[in-house]
Amino acid sequence: MAGMGSGPDHLFNLRNTFYLGAYQTAINNSEIPNLSPEDAVERDCLVFRSYIALGSYQLVISEIDEAAATPLQAVKLLAMYLSSPDNKESTISSVKEWLADSTIGNNAILRLIAGTIFMHEEDYNEALKHTHAGGTMDLHALNVQIFIKMHRSDYAEKQLRVMQQYDEDHTLTQLATAWLNLAVGGSKIQEAYLIFQDFSERYPMTCLVLNSKAVCCMQMGNFDEAESLLLEALNKDAKDPETLANLVVCSLHVGKSSSRYLSQLKLSHPEHVLVKRVSSAEDNFERALQSIA
């Protein structure tokens, strides 16, 4: 697997920071001396993926030029895909074209980005075509996510086993274990909570970890604790879509109004799945009213 060589791993901390959602910290701490050319490309990918996670798509699009290495070009495609709905079709056809090119089609980052894009499109079979062979921890972690979305926790577990055999303590292995525990539910939710709790004790708190803990709490029926975790996350980033979406759900359970969070989510992330669901429910409600009137 890539990132599985011997010798010191200069990108270990940067990778962890990115995986746990501390995107600005990753960007701020990316000046690492003595990187090999290959490591420098991986570092740049992590930095640009952090900018994408923060919603700075245009910055990524303008900074990565035609001369950049294939992995960086792939990251640029993700920024283009996410930057506007109008770009989606042309970006997807570029992705498919690159995947079909035998000189670059097997590049791990290109496959990862392709899998991410097709997962967004909910075209899980197409995503797996490019990610299923694995080869890096990132690809195996993405496979776990895809299989969970397909409600195939049996396949997700097989991917997780591969990760555990390689490195049980790897941050992605721990995260993937927690995602699977959440998907399986029941007594496993407490185990997922403890994994996120462990991260929050060892690393600075991020929206990602706070939201993950909150989701565990909600699934266990602890809505008050979930609400305080989500408000802490909102304090860190008032526009984070997952925080807003989780607050909408949580508010309903604690008997508070969720309309302000929903309005914020609609404004900042009109494409979010919760916004789409609510709009379609509103449309149906309007239609129902009209049919009665």
Which of 142, 173, 201 is where one domain is finished? 201
The predicted-structure confidence for 182-239, as pLDDT tens digits, reads as follows 999 999 999 999 999 999 999 989 999 999 999 999 999 999 999 999 999 999 999 8
Tell me, what's the pLDDT at 283?
Answer: 72
| Mean pLDDT in residue range 168-190 | 96
Residue 1 lies in a domain: no
- What are the DSSP calls for 191-245, one per residue? HHHHHHHHHHHHS---HHHHHHHHHHHHHTT-HHHHHHHHHHHHHH-TT-HHHHH
Is residue 172 domain-shared with residue 192, that is, in the same domain? yes
pLDDT digits (tens, 9 = 90+) for 233-282: 999 999 899 999 999 999 989 999 988 998 988 888 887 888 888 777 77
Token pair 């490195």 is at which residue?
Answer: 167
How far apart CA 129 and CA 106 sit, in angstroms, is 12
Kindly state the tokens that stand for 192. 């997922």
Whether the pLDDT of residue 2 is over 70: the answer is no
103 within some domain: no
Query: Rounded to an integer, what distance in angstroms lies between the CA atom of residue 23 and that of residue 52?
Result: 9
Q: 95 lies in a domain?
A: no
Instruction: Output the domain CATH number for residue 166.
Output: 1.25.40.10
Choose the final residue of a domain: 201, 219, 244.
Answer: 201
pLDDT in tens, 65-121: 999 999 999 999 999 999 988 889 999 999 999 999 999 999 999 999 999 999 999
pLDDT of residue 1: 55
Q: Compute how many other C-beta atoms are within 10 angstroms of the C-beta atom of residue 214.
A: 29
| φ, ψ (nearest 5 deg) of residue 205 | -65, 135
- Say if residue 167's pLDDT is above 60: yes
Place of tokens 């701490």: 29
The answer to whether residues 31 and 46 belong to one domain is yes
Residues 263 and 275 both lie in one domain: yes
> Residue 112: its pLDDT value, please?
98
Q: What is the DSSP string of 104-167?
A: TTT-HHHHHHHHHHHHHTT-HHHHHHHHTT--SHHHHHHHHHHHHHTT-HHHHHHHHHHHHHH-
pLDDT at residue 6, rounded to an integer = 53
Instruction: Give the number of other Cβ atoms within 10 Å of residue 224's Cβ.
Output: 11
Higher pLDDT, 44 or 4: 44
pLDDT for 289 equals 65
16 shares its domain with 57: yes
* Domain match, 185 and 250 both: no
Look at residue 278 in the predicted model and tell me its pLDDT: 78
12/169 Cα distance (integer angstroms): 13
Q: What contacts 109, CB < 8 A, 6 or more positions away?
A: 45, 70, 71, 74, 75
Check pLDDT > 80 for residue 291: no
112 with 191, same domain: the answer is yes
Confidence of residue 145 (pLDDT cuts 50, 70, 90): very high
210 and 285 in a common domain: yes
Task: Specify whether 194 is located in the same domain as 213.
Answer: no
pLDDT at 281: 75
Tell me how many domains the chain contains: 3
- pLDDT, greater one: 271 or 173: 173
Q: Are residues 113 and 178 in the same domain?
A: yes
Q: Which domain holds residue 62?
A: 10-85
Residue 280 to residues 183, 239, 287: CA-CA distances in angstroms? Answer: 26, 23, 10
Structure tokens of 21?
A: 């959602």
Does residue 282 belong to any structural domain of this protein?
yes
Q: Examine the domain organization and report whether 149 and 226 are in the same domain.
A: no
Residue 3 lies in a domain: no
Q: Residues 168, 130: one domain?
A: yes
In the prediction, which pLDDT does 105 show?
92
